[in-house]
Structure 1
Amino acid sequence: MRRQLLHPAAAAAVLALLLGLSACSSGADDPDPSPAAASGTPETGSDDSDDGSDDGGLPVGPLDDYIGVGAGAALSTDDAEYLEFEEEIARCMAAEGFEYVPFVPDVDATLLPDGSMTLDVTGGSFPDLPPDEFAARFGYGISTEPPADREEQRDPNEAIVARMSVAERVAYHQALYGDVNTLDDRGYLAGTAMSNTETSCVGRADAGEPTADERRSAEKRAQRVRDSFASLLKRVGDLRDEQLADPRVEAATSSWSSCLAAAGHRGFTELDQPRARARDDARKLLGPDLSGMADADPTRLAALRTAEVDLAVADEACLRDWRRTFRAVKLDTEERFVRDNLEELEAFRTAMAAAVADQE
Structure 2
Amino acid sequence: MPNTLDPECLLCREKIITNEAIFNCGSIRPDDTKRKEIEQLEISCLYGSLPPPGAPTQYASEELHGFISSKKQGCLFEAVGCKFQGLKLEIQGHQSISTLQHMDLLLEKIIPSKEVSPLRSCYARNLVSREKGKFENQLPRSLSHLGKMGRTIHLPEEHCKAMEALESKISKVEVKVADVEEKMAQVCEKVEDCSVKMKAFVQDSEPQNHRSCNLVDSKVRACPRFCSGAYPDFSGPVEIAHNGIYIWKIPNFSIRKQEALNGTRECLESNAFYTSQYGYKMVIQLYLNGDQLVRGNYISMHIRLLKGDFDALVQWPLKAKVDLLILNQKQQEHSILRRFVPDLTAPWGRRPMGNANVPAGISRFVSLEEFQGRCQEFVCDDVLFVKVEAELDQM
Report TM bin, short chain: under 0.3
Between structures 1 and 2, the one with greater strand share: 2
Q: Which has the larger radius of gyration?
A: 2
TM-score, normalisation: structure 2 = 0.18
TM-score, normalisation: structure 1 = 0.19
